[in-house]
């Protein structure tokens, strides 16, 4: 980062320490005060470029690549030609060897809502929400390699070293609640997807904008929030903080003018506040029964078989969705929920090379139940108006068969959907071809840059103007690409 570090560092420190407006104000006044020769290096950030439609985002990320044609993108042609040798009309490089016969979805499709959107039975729970949702069926990627594709969708770049989309948003907007992190990540409880925490790292943005991981099922859901063991008691903690504050104040007083030392005092105050706020946000005991039921969390203490199964997926995904709602309600700016872990054995992600029905069935039903509950719950609380829900994955899956029941990678076309926060509901934008192999209009696909540009736009940010100078380049979330998708807002 080539910003005037020594003078500006303390401002970063509190990207989730100050209220966003305060931060914006500081950044603005700071950039105005930079003399001209350094002005050309200034960070253009923290400036609302236009009035926002949305204030916060929850992103649902399906690791391993969820199949568009088995969930949201209905393909009658596959039903008609099921079992016939596949013919793409061109040479196709499959990632593995999934160029077998055309394969219809193992799930039935039915129409839902006023828009009559066709959804597969695996995501039937989302049927009640389709009129709020905007589907984009002509998403295209750049690679069929999981790691690169995950990076591309999560950071806008195909390789490591770039901030996650949530980092950009929290860097630009800060948190609405200084007692909680601005960017929270709820990973799959079984482990991280490809690239692990680098998908939500801050890279060249300040550390404070990186995603804070929360594992609700762990003994300590947030790392280091509280001390483990007997050593520290609530009393020794409280009095210790008092002592610390006093000694640090003395130290700062003899070093007048160094704002970092002042800011450090404040970080301990905020840490203490977070110790109060975070557990409250994660505590579901105050949620009424009907809400628990809505998210599929009414089976407390249930035990699950070893094989992948629907109730277990519902419970885990639903819990993350409910926690997400509580975090959003309390002012967290960006929540990212992951479904699916790495490619270990047995498979617990969306990478269904062998048996699509086996994994997609439970994963999709779990996801759909939680996502539908989240959308409805946000709506009934009036939060959906300014909260964007974004569903995304690495790439799609092939309409042809791999083995006899699996599908190979399809980086050429896949589906995203968005809802809330200024998104037009009940529409499908862009189409894939009759097989779901490539975009129908191959010259005008939608790319992750467009999704990100739209997201930023709704948040009041111009993706062209949100830049940070790093190693000689003014970096943007959208690189040198991206158009706001006007049709869906």
Partner 1 sequence: MARLRLQILIAVVLLGSCGVANSFGREDDVFLDRVVPIFQARCLECHRAGLSKGDFSLEDADSFFEGDYIERGDSANSHFVELISSQDSHRAEMPKNGSPLTDDQIKVIRSWIDSGASWPDGFKLNYDAKVARPLDYDWWSFREVVKPVVPVLIDSPNRDWIRNPIDAFVLEMLERKNLAPSKEANRRTLIRRLSYDLTGLPPTIAEVEAYEEDKSEDAYERVVERLLASPRYGERWARHWLDVVKYADTCGYDKDKLRPNAWPYRDYVIRSFNDDKPYRQFVQEQIAGDVLFPGTEDGILGLGFIAAGPWDFIGHVEVPESKLDGRVARNLDRDDMVSNTFNSFCSLTVQCARCHDHKFDPITQDHYYRLQAIFAAVDRADRVYAVDPKVEVERTVLRNKISKSEKSLAKLNDQLDRAGGQALVKLRERIAAVKNETKKPEFGYHSKVESRQDTLKWVEIEFDQPQSTKQIVLHAAHDEFNNIGAGFGFPLRFRVEVNGSTVFNRENADFPNPGLTPIVIPVAEPLTSVRLVATKLAQRSSDYHLALAEIELLNSRGENVAATGKVTALDSIEAPVRWGKSNLVDGIWYESSGETRKELQVKLDAMVLSLIGPSGVEQKSSFKNQIAESRKALSQLPAGKAVYAAATDFKSQGNFKATQGQPRPVYFLPRGEVASPGPRLEPGIIPLSAGRTIGVELKSGESESVARSKLALWLTDKGNPLLWRSVVNRIWHYHFGRGIVDTPNDFGRMGGERSHPELLDWLAATFRDGSESVSAESFKDLHRLIVTSSVYRQSSSYSGNGMTADSGNRYLWRMNRRRLSAEEIRDSILHASGLLNLEMGGAGYFLFQLEKTEHSPHYEYHKFDHTDPKSYRRSIYRFIVRSQPDPFMTTLDCADSSQSTPARNETQTPLQSLTMLNSDFSLEMSKRFARRIELESADQSERIQKVVQESLGRSPTELELSTMGEFVQQHGLANLIRIVFNLSEFVFID
- Site residues (CB under 8 A) for partner 1, limited to 348-367: 353-354
User: Does residue number 4 form part of the binding site for partner 1 (CB under 8 A)?
Assistant: yes
Applying the rule CB under 8 A, the residues between 406 and 445 that interact with partner 1 are none
**Cα 66 to Cα 6, 56, 117, distances in angstroms:** 45, 24, 19
Select from 46, 127, 144, 445 the one that contacts partner 1 (CB under 8 A): 144
| Nearest approach, Cβ of residue 76 and partner 1 (Å) | 26
Select from 244, 442, 465, 486 the one that contacts partner 1 (CB under 8 A): 244
| Nearest approach, Cβ of residue 413 and partner 1 (Å) | 16
Select from 89, 300, 307, 345 the one that contacts partner 1 (CB under 8 A): 345
User: Does residue number 263 form part of the binding site for partner 1 (CB under 8 A)?
Assistant: yes
User: Does residue number 251 form part of the binding site for partner 1 (CB under 8 A)?
Assistant: yes
3-state secondary structure 414-467: EEEEEECCCCCCCEEECCECCCCCCECCCCCCECHHHHHHHHHHHCCCCCCCCE
| Nearest approach, Cβ of residue 207 and partner 1 (Å) | 5
Select from 258, 283, 385, 487 the one that contacts partner 1 (CB under 8 A): 258
Structure token pair of residue 97:
């060897």
User: Does residue number 335 form part of the binding site for partner 1 (CB under 8 A)?
Assistant: no
| Nearest approach, Cβ of residue 313 and partner 1 (Å) | 20
User: Does residue number 181 form part of the binding site for partner 1 (CB under 8 A)?
Assistant: yes
Look at residues 137, 114, 133 and name the one whose alpha carbon lies nearest to residue 424.
133
Q: Do residues 410 and 398 touch, judged by C-beta distance below 8 A?
A: yes
- Closest to partner 1 by CB, 312 vs 354, is 354
Burial class (CB in 10 A: 0-12, 13-18, 19+), 307: exposed
User: Does residue number 469 form part of the binding site for partner 1 (CB under 8 A)?
Assistant: yes
Applying the rule CB under 8 A, the residues between 65 and 124 that interact with partner 1 are 93, 95
Helix (H, G, I), strand (E, B) or coil at 182: coil
User: Does residue number 229 form part of the binding site for partner 1 (CB under 8 A)?
Assistant: yes
Applying the rule CB under 8 A, the residues between 28 and 67 that interact with partner 1 are 35-41
| Nearest approach, Cβ of residue 316 and partner 1 (Å) | 18
Applying the rule CB under 8 A, the residues between 268 and 297 that interact with partner 1 are 268, 270-271, 274-275
User: Does residue number 22 form part of the binding site for partner 1 (CB under 8 A)?
Assistant: no
User: Does residue number 405 form part of the binding site for partner 1 (CB under 8 A)?
Assistant: yes
DSSP 126: G
DSSP 170: H
φ/ψ of residue 467, rounded to 5: -130, 155
* First-last CA distance in the chain: 34
Burial class (CB in 10 A: 0-12, 13-18, 19+), 35: exposed
How many secondary structure helices (H) and strands (E) does the chain include?
12, 14
């Amino acid at each position: 980062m080539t910003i005037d570090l020594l003078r500006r560092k303390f401002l970063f420190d509190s990207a989730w320490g100050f209220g966003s407006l305060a931060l914006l104000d500081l950044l603005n006044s700071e950039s105005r005060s930079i003399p001209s020769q350094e002005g050309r290096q200034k960070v253009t950030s923290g400036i609302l470029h236009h009035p926002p439609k949305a204030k916060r985002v929850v992103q649902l990320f399906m690791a391993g690549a969820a199949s568009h044609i088995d969930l949201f993108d209905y393909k009658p042609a596959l039903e008609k030609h099921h079992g016939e040798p596949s013919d793409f009309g061109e040479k196709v490089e499959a990632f593995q060897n999934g160029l077998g016969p055309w394969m219809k979805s193992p799930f039935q499709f039915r129409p839902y809502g006023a828009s009559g959107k066709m959804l597969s039975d695996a995501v039937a729970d989302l049927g009640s929400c389709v009129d709020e949702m905007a589907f984009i069926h002509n998403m295209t990627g750049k690679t069929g390699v999981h790691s690169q594709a995950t990076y591309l969708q999560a950071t806008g770049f195909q390789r490591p070293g770039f901030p996650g989309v949530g980092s950009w948003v929290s860097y630009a907007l800060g948190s609405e609640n200084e007692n909680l992190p601005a960017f929270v990540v709820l990973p799959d409880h079984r482990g991280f997807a490809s690239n692990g925490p680098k998908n939500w790292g801050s890279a060249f943005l300040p550390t404070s904008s990186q995603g804070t991981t929360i594992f609700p099922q762990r003994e300590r859901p947030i790392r280091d929030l509280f001390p483990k063991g007997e050593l520290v008691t609530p009393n020794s903690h409280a009095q210790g903080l008092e002592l610390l504050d006093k000694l640090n104040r003395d130290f700062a007083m003899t070093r007048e003018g160094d704002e970092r030392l002042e800011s450090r005092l404040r970080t301990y105050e905020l840490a203490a506040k977070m110790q109060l706020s975070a557990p409250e946000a994660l505590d579901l005991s105050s949620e009424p029964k009907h809400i628990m039921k809505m998210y599929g969390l009414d089976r407390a203490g249930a035990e699950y078989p070893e094989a992948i199964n629907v109730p277990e997926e519902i419970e885990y995904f639903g819990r993350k969705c409910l926690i997400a709602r509580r975090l959003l309600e309390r002012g967290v700016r960006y929540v990212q929920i992951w479904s699916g872990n790495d490619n270990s054995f047995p498979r617990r992600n969306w990478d269904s090379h062998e048996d699509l029905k086996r994994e997609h069935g439970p994963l999709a039903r779990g996801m759909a139940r939680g996502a539908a509950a989240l959308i409805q719950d946000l709506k009934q609380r009036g939060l959906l108006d300014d909260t964007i829900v974004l569903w995304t994955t690495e790439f799609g899956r092939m309409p042809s068969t791999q083995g006899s029941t699996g599908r190979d990678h399809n980086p050429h076309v896949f589906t995203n959907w968005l809802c809330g926060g200024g998104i037009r509901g009940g529409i499908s934008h862009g189409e894939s071809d009759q097989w779901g192999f490539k975009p129908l209009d191959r010259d005008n696909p939608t790319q992750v840059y467009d999704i990100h540009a739209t997201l930023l736009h709704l948040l009041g940010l111009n993706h062209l103007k949100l830049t940070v100078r790093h190693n000689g380049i003014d970096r943007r979330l959208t690189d040198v690409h991206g158009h706001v998708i006007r049709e869906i807002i």
